[in-house]
Structure 1
Amino acid sequence: MGEVRKLQKKLRQIENLEIKISLSPEERIKISRKAELRSRLAELQLQLSGPQQTRGTVGDGKKEKMKRQVEEAPGALPSQTPPASKMPKGEERPRAQTTPSPAARPAAETGRGREKPPPAEVSGKAEFASLKASWEKSRFRLRLLEGHNDIVTCVAAVDNLVVSGSRDTTVKVWHVPTATEQKNLGGHTGGVTCLSAPPPEYCKRLARSLDLSDKERFILSGSADCYVKIWALNIGQCVKSIYTFNAVTALCFVPEGDGYIVTGSDGGKVQAWSWHTFDNCQSINAHREAVTSIQSQGPLAFSGSAEGGVSVWENRCSDRDPLRLLHHWSGQVTGCGGGPGGRLTLSPRGDRVFLAYGQAWLKILHWRTGTTSRLTNHSSIAGVTDCVHQPGGLLIGSCYDLANGESSLNLFSLPQCRYLASLTWPDAPRILCFAAWATGSGDHRWVTGGRGLIVWEQLPSSGKQRGDVTVKSDSRLDSCTLESEEETEDDEETDDYEDDDDVDVNNGEADGRCEGAEAAGLGAWLRCVLQ
């Protein structure tokens, strides 16, 4: 298991090198070893899995197919009873139905000694089964939006427009129905790291103060050049620039009172800015490492950092110091992090915050009490979760397999967090960011960014059009449930180890840092490439 973890770390480091803007000859040599390391990792996983291989494990195709057929056949358990021709004389074949098996017993015990489940429980199970079946039959049309010449780091949806930010320093506006680039907003001198769209009522206030149309919509962009820029989408111009003195790594708009922009920096600082005057209202040294995610929920704002800490802020609608810290939970409490340079993304819902931090599972933090639980998001320990999102009653986690480079989206129902289905397609790129909205008919429209910018449009359930997405069900995720931290004491994987010659891709650098920055963890691109 130790070598597996080393290989996983090396593959993570190589993935981070691949998304750098420029590569040195030494880095190109390291990247050239990715296929070799993946092959070795797959071999080790095969050895560890032994005879109990399941889907997704490399092995002999015909044998695996036969094995899956046996595993998936209901009730097809290996028989321990010899054939009738080999039964010793005088012995009778045991009766299989004499005593129900533990799995079958609850179904049989409906009348005696067991109460019938309440109607609400039956209704809930039927509703979930129907929802799961509908997603397993769902279809999506994919459209690639081509225009950026570097990694897409952030996306947002505004009406029928998609807005994307990239390390190429541009913000682009796309018209979704025609999948065409509408605006190219150039003005940042560093990579764009984050976007946020203010609600329409706050856009109207700003539009009136600028003598623009009431229908004007705005988008906020943050960049490594230390600027937050406010763009008017219809006219395609920057109407305001805010210099923050620090590289901006996260931001969100808090729609309370006159409105506030909350930003996070690469040094761990959280700042609040007035939407009315654009003055700095507050600066707080909130985290030890870079702030990698900020999200709002009503008057609350949630910030997550590279070291795995999460802070919860209340907006007091004040001209000075509007943010009041309600709770702060360190990486030791959240179970996230794993060293400086990591990347934590979060998505709040009520009293829970869903956390993605580059492992094969999602963490769920109950932010009022500090208790945590875990939700499996990948059937292999080589899985990586880069982002998490909640469109409507769904929880969606991105999934990337370090061992084979496959990417997908996993869907869970809310609030129970029960697995529904996985969506993927051939040569799917790694997904680093996600945005969603609904069409007029109630169908889903999503946009994913990372190595590619892709719009997902849900197709009607009836019709002859064929979808581009493959919908599959991972039986190992299907059987997973929420686990408390007490049940998963050994879950946390750490990348802290000494390199050895077998898997060295850092030319003997024991700390595994990329040039000039710390790169332990999946989010090193926030610190070592946006320069």
Structure 2
Amino acid sequence: MGEVRKLQKKLRQIENLEIKISLTPEEKVKVSKKAELRSTLAELLLQHSGPQQTQGIVGKEEDKMKRQVEEVKEQLVVACRPALKIAREERRENERSDGSQTDGRGETHLPVSPSAEEQEDAEFKSRRQTWEKAKFRLRTLEGHSDIITCAVAVDNLVISGSRDTTVKVWHVPTATEQRNLGGHSGGVTCLSAPPPEYCRRLAHVFDLADKERFVLSGSTDCCVRIWALSSGQCIKSIYTFNAVSSLCFIPEGEGFIVTGSDAGKLQVWSWSSLENWQSENAHLDAVTTLQSQGPLLFSGSAEGCVCVWEVSDKWTEPLRRLHIWGPEVTGCGGVDGVNGRLILSPRGDRVFLSCGKASIRILNWRTGVMTRLTNHSSTAGVTDCVNQIPGLLIGSCFDITNGESTINLFSLPQCKYLVSLTSSDLPRILCFAAWLTASGDHRWVTGGRNLIVWEQLPGSFKKRGDVIVRRDSRLVDCLLESDRDSEDEQSEVDDDEESIPQDASETEEPASSSWLRCVLQ
């Protein structure tokens, strides 16, 4: 299978090359071979397919996945067989046709109401059936001239940031560009939209209307800009002395802006005075993600590290670090010394992590216990972003083998797989924003090569939607331990390296090159 891994590595290199601003003649030649390489790889996979191989899994990969699933299932059966389940099975055996029940002594009892577990199963089944019937209409918002790196939603507006240095405001119902916010001299890497109550406070400072909404943008030009959406005016620019790689607004106390730099530094700025309150050398590499949850801030970096911070406006320095978990715990470290792009989404004691691998990592940030949620059936899958909306965990997945892009939906809090959504020619998804309409339907925006609005259609809609909804049986019940996952994925990488000739043409772009570094080039 060495040739298969070699071709997969070449395709991964090409996908990362394609998102660069400019290509050398040699790189253009490599990119031009993508279709040919995919065709060759498809032929090889067809040759190796057989009765013992499932679709999309090759040889040793399938054996490992089967072994993993079997081992975990055995552990769960031995260690976790609940007494409640045993009691329920005995009760079912003693049920009478009239709905009453007997115990082992023949005494009659009234029907027992469904247990919490049964109700949960019924709720999940209903939700799955609803999503299996879901229809979406896709609309492309055209205007950016380069990769879309970030997007946020404010009411019926979508704000997008691009490597082309612009921030654009879109009116979603009409799919039209409302404003072009030009001012950054470097690529826009991150956006954040403060809550309305904090916008009102800043509006008073600048003598603007109470209903004014603001959006924050960070850029490689070392600036954070604050934009008034009604006018498109930049009301304030904060110079950070470092290329801004991530950004977050914390609605705690008077409010804080937290920026992460490409060198690993965190800086905290007062929302009311816009003064710098704290600078912290938090990470060893670029801070690629910042997310708040109540009085907590979560930061993730390119080297695979996750930090948890407590936030308070009562302290001289607003941030105090509670926990730090390195790549040896998270399993999100780089390969061949090249670090990646870690994205996180917190929920209670858990933090969902995506780091360009085939699975979504789940970190218990209090204990350091790691699990993983399978987001693709083989190591050919790349998870670029993970996000949450009420009741749903959403993970993007890109298959480097065939170029297919999908969105996988999992039910929360159980993390049980629901459905996969895809469409023809759907590009690689690198950022995601979502909200609900007044009628309760979903509206999503995905960014990457294109900025696409996903609008859920009502159930009574007669025509076929633009999105294919399907169930991938290989993703069902695939919550596995991350330590086993890390070992197996690393062994795949090691095998891959041994099978590839180490000449300049094969190694000038590492297989797991950082998306963030590509964005900044």
TM-score normalised by length of structure 1: 0.84
Question: How do residues 419-498 of structure 1 correspond to structure 2 at under 5 angstroms?
Answer: 419-478=417-476, 480-485=477-482, 487-488=484-485, 490-493=487-490, 495=493
Check whether the contact 2:304–2:339 (CA below 8 A) recurs between aligned residues. Answer: no
In 1, Cα distance between equivalents of 2:16 and 2:265 = 24
**What CA deviation, in whole Å up to 9, does each residue of 1:77-136 have, x standing for no partner?**
xxxxxxxxxxxxxxxxxxxxxxxxxxxxx9899417999996222221111111100100
- The reply on whether 1:292 has 2:288 as its aligned counterpart is yes
Aligned length: 475
Could you say which residue in structure 1 is the equivalent of 2:11? Answer: 11
- The reply on whether 1:111 has 2:78 as its aligned counterpart is no
Could you say which residue in structure 1 is the equivalent of 2:37? Answer: 37
Corresponding residue SS for 1:507 = helix
Relative to structure 1, the CA distance from residue 261 to residue 30 in structure 2 (aligned partners, 3 Å threshold; closer, same or farther) is same
**What CA deviation, in whole Å up to 9, does each residue of 1:201-229 have, x standing for no partner?**
11011111101111111001011111111
Could you say which residue in structure 2 is the equivalent of 1:50? Answer: 50
**What CA deviation, in whole Å up to 9, does each residue of 1:390-442 have, x standing for no partner?**
01110000010000000010000000000000001111111000001100011
Could you say which residue in structure 2 is the equivalent of 1:383? Answer: 381
Long gaps (5+) in structure 2: 59-87, 96-102, 105-111
Relative to structure 1, the CA distance from residue 117 to residue 419 in structure 2 (aligned partners, 3 Å threshold; closer, same or farther) is farther
Give the partner amino acid of 1:173. Answer: V
Question: How do residues 119-134 of structure 1 correspond to structure 2 at under 5 angstroms?
Answer: 119-134=115-130
- The reply on whether 1:240 has 2:236 as its aligned counterpart is yes
Could you say which residue in structure 2 is the equivalent of 1:521? Answer: 512
Could you say which residue in structure 2 is the equivalent of 1:145? Answer: 141
Could you say which residue in structure 1 is the equivalent of 2:73? Answer: none
Long gaps (5+) in structure 1: 59-105, 514-518
Give the partner amino acid of 2:286. Answer: A
Relative to structure 1, the CA distance from residue 398 to residue 110 in structure 2 (aligned partners, 3 Å threshold; closer, same or farther) is same
Higher mean displacement: 144-153 or 31-40: 31-40
- The reply on whether 1:399 has 2:381 as its aligned counterpart is no
Give the partner amino acid of 1:465. Answer: K
Corresponding residue SS for 2:520 = coil
Check whether the contact 2:407–2:422 (CA below 8 A) recurs between aligned residues. Answer: yes
Check whether the contact 2:146–2:162 (CA below 8 A) recurs between aligned residues. Answer: yes
Check whether the contact 1:281–1:319 (CA below 8 A) recurs between aligned residues. Answer: no
Corresponding residue SS for 2:142 = coil
Corresponding residue SS for 2:488 = coil
Higher mean displacement: 275-284 or 253-262: 275-284
Give the partner amino acid of 1:31. Answer: V
Q: Which has the higher helix share?
A: 2
Deviation at 1:288, TM superposition (A): 1.0
Higher mean displacement: 274-283 or 357-366: 274-283
Corresponding residue SS for 1:229 = strand
Higher mean displacement: 375-384 or 41-50: 41-50
Check whether the contact 1:218–1:230 (CA below 8 A) recurs between aligned residues. Answer: yes
**What CA deviation, in whole Å up to 9, does each residue of 1:332-378 have, x standing for no partner?**
00011224331110100000000001111100000000000010001
In 2, Cα distance between equivalents of 1:261 and 1:230 = 11
- The reply on whether 1:223 has 2:205 as its aligned counterpart is no
In 1, Cα distance between equivalents of 2:167 and 2:44 = 43
Relative to structure 1, the CA distance from residue 492 to residue 181 in structure 2 (aligned partners, 3 Å threshold; closer, same or farther) is same
Corresponding residue SS for 2:93 = coil
Corresponding residue SS for 2:376 = coil
In 2, Cα distance between equivalents of 1:484 and 1:341 = 23
Check whether the contact 1:412–1:419 (CA below 8 A) recurs between aligned residues. Answer: yes
Higher mean displacement: 106-115 or 483-492: 106-115
Question: How do residues 77-476 of structure 1 correspond to structure 2 at under 5 angstroms?
Answer: 110-111=92-93, 119-318=115-314, 320-339=316-335, 340-476=338-474
In 2, Cα distance between equivalents of 1:140 and 1:191 = 31
In 2, Cα distance between equivalents of 1:117 and 1:484 = 35
Deviation at 1:55, TM superposition (A): 4.2
Higher mean displacement: 487-496 or 254-263: 487-496
Relative to structure 1, the CA distance from residue 24 to residue 496 in structure 2 (aligned partners, 3 Å threshold; closer, same or farther) is farther
Check whether the contact 1:10–1:503 (CA below 8 A) recurs between aligned residues. Answer: no
Deviation at 1:32, TM superposition (A): 1.9
Relative to structure 1, the CA distance from residue 470 to residue 498 in structure 2 (aligned partners, 3 Å threshold; closer, same or farther) is closer
In 1, Cα distance between equivalents of 2:390 and 2:165 = 31
Deviation at 1:144, TM superposition (A): 0.6
Check whether the contact 1:495–1:521 (CA below 8 A) recurs between aligned residues. Answer: no
**% of aligned pairs identical?**
67
Relative to structure 1, the CA distance from residue 283 to residue 463 in structure 2 (aligned partners, 3 Å threshold; closer, same or farther) is same
Higher mean displacement: 403-412 or 375-384: 375-384
Higher mean displacement: 30-39 or 174-183: 30-39
